[in-house]
Amino acid sequence: MTILVFAEKTSTLIELCNGARQLGDRVEAIVIGEAQGGFADKVWHIPAQADAMFEDYTETIAALVEKVKPSFLLVEPTKRCKLVSGRLAAMLGASVITDASELTSAGEAKHMVYGGAAVRKEKAVTATAIVTVGSGVFADSEPVTLESEVETVAFVAPAFTIKVVSKEQKPKTSADLNKSKRVVGIGRGLAAQEDLDMIKDFAASIGAEVGCSRPIADGEGWMPKELYIGVTGLMLSPDIYVALGISGQIQHVVGINQSKVVIAVNKDKNAPIFKYADYGIVGDLYKVVPALTEHFNKVLV
List residues forming the annotated binding site for FAD. Answer: 188, 213-214, 245-252, 266
Annotated binding site: 188, 213-214, 245-252, 266
Phi, psi (deg, nearest 5) at residue 299: -65, -40
Q: Which residues contact 12 (CB under 8 A, 6 or more apart)?
A: 76
Q: How far apart are alpha carbons 73 and 239 in whole angstroms?
A: 29
Residue type at position 151: E
